[in-house]
Amino acid sequence: MKVSHSRLLIVGLALATWLIDRPFSGIWHDSRFYALQALQHLHPIAFSRDLFFLYGSQDQYSLFSRLHAAAISFWGLNSGTMALQGLGLGLWFVAAWMLTRIVPGRLAALSLLLIAGVDSHYGSHGVFSYGESFLSARLYAEAFSLAGLAAWLSGRKVLGGVAFSAACAMHPLMALPAMTIGLGTLLRPAIWFGFMGAGVLLALGLGMASVGPFTGLLQPMDPGWWQLAVSRSPFVFLQAWDWDGFSQALYVVVVTGIAWRILPESDLRRLAGVTLVCVLGAFAIAYVGGSLLKLPLIAGLQLTRVMWIALVITLILIPAMLWESRQQNTWSRILLWGLALSAFLDIRMQGGFALLVLAIFWLGKRCSPGYKPPVWFWLLLGVVPLQIMVWGLLNVSLEAERQAFLAEQSSVWRIYYSNPATVLVIVSGAYWLLGRDHLPKPLIWFGSVVVAGLLTLGIMTWYDLPPELDYGSPARQAAIAPIEARVPKNATVYWVDEPEKAWFWLGRANYLSFSQTAGSVFSRGTAVEALRRAAYARPANPRDANQNWDERFKQVVPGLISRTSVEKACRDPILDYVIARSQPGAGTVHFRDPATGWGYELYECRTLRDKTLQYRAQLP
| pLDDT tens for each residue of 244-265 | 999 999 999 999 999 999 998 8
Note whether 247 and 349 are within 8 A (CB).
Answer: yes
Do 26 and 98 belong together in one domain? yes
| pLDDT tens for each residue of 136-189 | 999 999 999 999 999 999 999 999 999 999 999 999 999 999 999 999 999 999
Residue 72: partners with Cβ closer than 8 Å, 6 or more residues away: 35, 38, 39, 42, 80, 81
Given the DSSP bridges, would you call strands 509-510 and 492-495 parallel, antiparallel or unpaired? parallel
Is residue 209 situated within a structural domain? Answer: no
Is residue 212 situated within a structural domain? Answer: no
Is residue 201 situated within a structural domain? Answer: no
pLDDT for res 439: 77
Is residue 40 situated within a structural domain? Answer: yes
Do 446 and 515 belong together in one domain? no
Which pTM value belongs to this model? 0.93
DSSP string for residues in 331-390: HHHHHHHHHHHHTTS-HHHHHHHHHHHHHHHHHHHHH-TT----HHHHHHHTHHHHHHHH
Question: Does 388 have pLDDT greater than 90?
Answer: no
Query: Residue 560 and residue 446: Cα distance in Å, rounded?
Result: 56
Across 333-347, 388-402, 467-481, 569-583, least confident range: 388-402
pLDDT for res 403: 53
Is residue 207 situated within a structural domain? Answer: no
What is the maximum span of the chain, computed from C-alpha positions, in angstroms?
98
Do 475 and 442 belong together in one domain? no
| pLDDT tens for each residue of 63-89 | 999 999 999 999 999 999 999 999 999
Question: Does 25 have pLDDT greater than 50?
Answer: yes
Do 448 and 587 belong together in one domain? no
Do 262 and 340 belong together in one domain? yes
Query: Residue 204 and residue 216: Cα distance in Å, rounded?
Result: 10
Do 402 and 421 belong together in one domain? yes
Do 302 and 415 belong together in one domain? yes
Average pLDDT over residues 49-68: 90
Nearest-CA neighbor of 491 among 605, 585, 400, 586? 605
For the chain, the average pLDDT equals: 89
- Under the banding of pLDDT at 50, 70 and 90, the label for residue 584 is confident
- Under the banding of pLDDT at 50, 70 and 90, the label for residue 346 is confident
Residue 13: partners with Cβ closer than 8 Å, 6 or more residues away: 113, 426, 430, 451, 454
Is residue 194 situated within a structural domain? Answer: no
Query: Residue 30 and residue 137: Cα distance in Å, rounded?
Result: 10
Q: How far is CA 418 from the centre of its chain?
A: 17
Nearest-CA neighbor of 107 among 97, 117, 93, 94? 97
Q: Which of 426, 460, 494 is the last residue of a domain?
A: 460
Query: Residue 482 and residue 492: Cα distance in Å, rounded?
Result: 17
Do 269 and 181 belong together in one domain? yes
Residue type, 402: R
Average pLDDT over residues 293-307: 94
Q: CA distances (Å), 317 to each of 99, 455, 551, in order?
A: 11, 26, 39
Percent of the chain with pLDDT over 70: 92
Nearest-CA neighbor of 170 among 151, 142, 135? 142
Do 508 and 443 belong together in one domain? no
Average pLDDT over residues 443-451: 89
Note whether 452 and 13 are within 8 A (CB).
Answer: no
Average pLDDT over residues 221-228: 93
The helix or strand, by DSSP H or E, that contains position 492, with its residue range, turns out to be strand 492-495
DSSP string for residues in 525-594: HHHHHHHHHHHHHTTT-HHHH---TTGGGTSPPP-SPPHHHHHHHTTSTT--EEEE---TTSSSEEEE-T
Nearest-CA neighbor of 131 among 88, 174, 173, 163? 88
Residue 561: partners with Cβ closer than 8 Å, 6 or more residues away: 496, 540, 541, 580, 581, 582
Do 523 and 441 belong together in one domain? no
pLDDT for res 360: 86
Do 335 and 314 belong together in one domain? yes
Question: Does 433 have pLDDT greater than 80?
Answer: yes
Question: Does 190 have pLDDT greater than 50?
Answer: yes
Q: CA distances (Å), 480 to each of 144, 447, 471, 500, 536, in order?
A: 39, 50, 10, 14, 26
Q: Which of 432, 460, 488 is the last residue of a domain?
A: 460
Contacts 24+ apart (CB under 8 A), 287-294: 287/238, 287/239, 290/236, 290/237, 290/238, 291/237, 291/238, 291/239, 293/220, 294/220, 294/221, 294/226
The helix or strand, by DSSP H or E, that contains position 510, with its residue range, turns out to be strand 509-510
Q: Which of 407, 439, 460 is the last residue of a domain?
A: 460
How many domains, in total, are found in the chain? 2
Angle, CA 603 vertex, CA 601 and CA 606 arms, to 5°: 175
Query: Residue 308 and residue 75: Cα distance in Å, rounded?
Result: 31
Can you state the percent helix, strand and coil of the chain, rounding each to 5?
A: 70, 5, 25
pLDDT for res 1: 41
Nearest-CA neighbor of 475 among 595, 589, 581? 595
Nearest-10 Cα torsion for 315, 422, 3, 440: 140
| pLDDT tens for each residue of 523-557 | 899 999 999 999 999 999 999 999 999 887 777 76
Three-state SS for 188?
Answer: coil
Give 421 or 234, the one with higher predicted confidence: 234
Task: Show the domain range for 480.
Answer: 471-618
Phi first, then psi: what are they for 175, rounded to 5°? -75, -30
Tally Cβ neighbours within 10 Å of residue 464: 14
Query: Residue 132 and residue 111: Cα distance in Å, rounded?
Result: 18
Do 561 and 425 belong together in one domain? no
